[in-house]
Amino acid sequence: VDLALDHWLPGPDLVPQSIHQAMRYSVFAGGKRLRPALCLEAGQLTGAIESDVLPVACAIEMIHTYSLVHDDLPALDNDDLRRGQPTAHKKYGEAIAILAGDALLTRAFQILSTVPGSGIGAPARIQVMQEIAESIGTLNGMIGGQVADLESEGKTVTADLLNYIHSSKTGALISASVRSGALLGQGAEHELRALTEYGANIGLAFQIVDDILDVVSSAEVLGKTPGKDRSTNKATYPAMFGLEQSRREARRLADEAIKALSRLGEQADSFREMAAFIVERVA
Ligand code: IPE
Ligand code: IPE
Ligand code: MG
Ligand code: MG
Ligand code: MG
């Protein structure tokens, strides 16, 4: 994935250099590459050609990185540390950080719409673009979730709203990562259904664990400043339910995700491992 990202990102010497360097800085600062992994595995499970899925996996990682760059801005979460490095706006200034986020998003859709000798036809490609665009939009997508997250700071929220925030700001793109891979492989109806249910469950579990790690982890391990959610009075699972119940809920969701795969046999083992990873991870 990193090699492919290097290929698909504009070179650092291309003009204007500052923006291309800033895009690369945030993408290559680190990161677990969970979303590309989910996309590639779903492609493999449904019989897609890996070289067709890889650009889509990269586009998704660029979109995810854009969301992190903007999430860290002073106007949003105002964070100084990301992926173990100074945040993009600390390193390049706010204007370039905003534009680098915009540029990563734009480049992603440029890649998704490009067909370089690919085995994927236009209908599948358009379907994947729609899927990803929806997942990061305002209606149950990432932007909608981010807005509700910001507007809930310092307020008492309902469990339903908390669930909406987490499923939208984080769950939706994770689900879309899995579904995109399966759409590229033209997965059967039952495969898509199973992977969709899997994605929704691990997506929510992933953000619950992110909230837990903000409480219990350290900057060295996490690569971001812990304790921020509490100091900014964010609506989080630990704040609403406490750590133990949040951990139980994340595990329950991972179990649900694994149950959804029951008809898929051992070819879905990597998805079972990723569900376990999501609740056991320390960063
Ligand atoms: C962090 O995502 C932001 C959330 C959506 C919770 P990741 O924990 O996947 O961040 P990286 O990509 O590994 O840095
Ligand atoms: C961010 O959630 C979700 C995004 C869409 C970027 P957080 O604000 O909790 O993510 P971190 O903890 O800063 O990575
Ligand atoms: Mg945030
Ligand atoms: Mg944040
Ligand atoms: Mg967080």
Chain segment 89-115, per-residue pLDDT in tens: 999 999 999 999 999 999 999 999 986
175-209 exposure pattern, b = at least 16 Cβ within 10 A, e = fewer = bbbbbbbbbbbebeeebbebbbbbbbbbbbbbbbb
Q: Kindly give the number of the ligand 2 atom that is closest to the alpha carbon of 173.
A: 5
Q: How many other CB atoms are found less than 10 A from the CB of residue 124?
A: 18
What is d(CA 26, CA 85) in angstroms, rounded to the nearest whole number?
A: 9
Sequence-distant (≥ 6) Cβ neighbours of residue 116 within 8 angstroms: none
In this predicted structure, the answer to whether residue 117 has a pLDDT above a threshold of 90 is no
Ligand 2 neighbour 87 (Cβ under 6 A): no
Q: Work out the mean pLDDT of the chain and round it to a whole number.
A: 97
Ligand 2 neighbour 166 (Cβ under 6 A): no
Q: How far does residue 59's CA lie from ligand 4's centre (Å)? A: 21
According to the model, what pLDDT value does residue 122 have?
Answer: 87
Q: How far does residue 188's CA lie from ligand 2's centre (Å)? A: 33
> Per residue in 64-92, pLDDT tens?
999 999 999 999 999 999 999 999 999 99
Phi/psi at 196 (5° precision): -65, -45
How long a stretch of residues is the chain?
283
According to the model, what pLDDT value does residue 120 have?
Answer: 85
In this predicted structure, the answer to whether residue 138 has a pLDDT above a threshold of 80 is yes
Q: How far does residue 214's CA lie from ligand 5's centre (Å)? A: 6
Residues with CB under 6 A from ligand 1: 31-32, 34, 64, 83, 170, 207, 210
> Per residue in 145-184, pLDDT tens?
999 999 999 999 999 999 999 999 999 999 999 999 999 9
Q: Name the band, by pLDDT with cuts 50, 70 and 90, for residue 118.
A: confident
What is d(CA 161, CA 153) in angstroms, rounded to the nearest whole number?
A: 12
